Amino acid sequence: MVPTEIDVPAGAYAVTVHLLDWEAEPGAMDDQGNATTSALPDFVVLIEPTTEDSFRTELETFDDID
């Protein structure tokens, strides 16, 4: 995966990350179990300007689902 850098104007932004289960997508894996070139990414990031005054200050983590 290649990191992507996005320039945004100065200001306050709300960032939302959506995790995707690309392994559940039909055609996402080839016969060897590798991702195909048409597979969805692992996540989508939305960046939106905001006027909110309060933000979350603690890290929210997820339990392992193995």
Tell me if 45 is assigned to some domain: yes
pLDDT of residue 47: 92
pLDDT of residue 38: 83
Tell me if 7 is assigned to some domain: no
pTM score, whole prediction: 0.57
pLDDT of residue 66: 64
Determine the structural domain holding residue 38 and report its residue range.
13-49
* Each residue's pLDDT expressed in tens, for the chain with a length of 66 residues: 677 888 999 988 888 888 888 778 888 889 998 888 888 888 889 999 988 777 777 777 667 666
Tell me if 18 is assigned to some domain: yes
pLDDT of residue 27: 83
What is the 3-class SS of 2-65, one letter each residue? CCCCCCCCCCCEEEEEEECCHHHCCCCECCCCCECCCCCCCEEEEEEECCCCCCCCCCCCCCCC
pLDDT of residue 48: 92
Tell me if 55 is assigned to some domain: no
Tell me if 8 is assigned to some domain: no
**Counted domains in the chain:** 1
